[in-house]
Amino acid sequence: MHPKFFAALAVTLALFPSMAQAANSPELTYPTGTLLAAKSKIKATSTGYIKLTSGMEFGCFMAEFNGTLTSNNGTTLEADIESSLVTGTTTTHKCIGSNIGEFTWTFGTATNGMPWCLRSTSAMAADEFQLRGGSCTAAQRPIRFVWDTESVGECVYERSGTMIGTFTTAPEDTVLTIAGQEFTRLSGSILCPSNGKLDMTLTVTETSSGAPTYMD
């Protein structure tokens, strides 16, 4: 083709960047190629540490989130995340924080705890998902977690806005990545970090079989 064609195409994509991006296609499948039905149970288990970074790192060995798929129609994927478990080492089952010692990390069912809404739609950026407080049919509310420490008591953290992450697509297993999502201390000792950035990577499986799911 004539060089002027490519020059014109480059200008068009620069003016309309959305044309240069692939559309988001949030289709959760199990087995691959078959849409997982609404009301199916799913589990998201961390690969590596779940951690909050605030100059120092505060981390747990494993996190697990359980939920129910409520919509999966090819343009909208939604699931209510209903329960969680965060554990530390196999000996103490507690997490480690540099200046606060061992602690438990809870995403509870108290104020601004569970459930959460996990969703991805065709209107979002390619391979994007969002996580917010409240079920998918309820109004949005903050997400909160609590550290129960042995040395300084409770540290309570909250994020009012939506967390934004990315997912992998088939043929890879479904992996959700949340990086650098900021939480602010709501209450607790001044020895609790005033804020920090949350990072975690989660593999999504179909609960009854334990088999991996795929985003096609």
Mean pLDDT across the chain, nearest whole number?
88
- Considering only residues 18 and 167, tell me which one the structure prediction assigns the higher pLDDT: 167
**For position 183, what pLDDT does the model report?**
97
**For position 2, what pLDDT does the model report?**
53
Sequence ranges of the domains in the chain: 25-215
**Predicted confidence (pLDDT) at residue 1 exceeds the cutoff of 70:** no
Percent of the chain with pLDDT strictly greater than 70: 89
Cα-to-chain-centroid distance, residue 167: 9
**Predicted confidence (pLDDT) at residue 93 exceeds the cutoff of 70:** yes
**Predicted confidence (pLDDT) at residue 44 exceeds the cutoff of 80:** yes
Q: What is the mean pLDDT of residues 168-182?
A: 96
**For position 5, what pLDDT does the model report?**
45
User: Can you give the pTM of this predicted structure?
Assistant: 0.86
**For position 96, what pLDDT does the model report?**
85
Cα–Cα distance for residue pair 92/95, rounded to 1 Å: 8
**Predicted confidence (pLDDT) at residue 80 exceeds the cutoff of 50:** yes
Tokens of 197: 């950035």
Tokens of 203: 């593999």
Worst-scoring range by mean pLDDT, 26-40, 57-71, 87-101, 111-125? Answer: 87-101
**For position 6, what pLDDT does the model report?**
42
Residue 75: pLDDT band with limits 50, 70, 90: very high
Percent of the chain with pLDDT strictly greater than 90: 72
- Residue 97 CB: number of other CB atoms within 10 A? 26
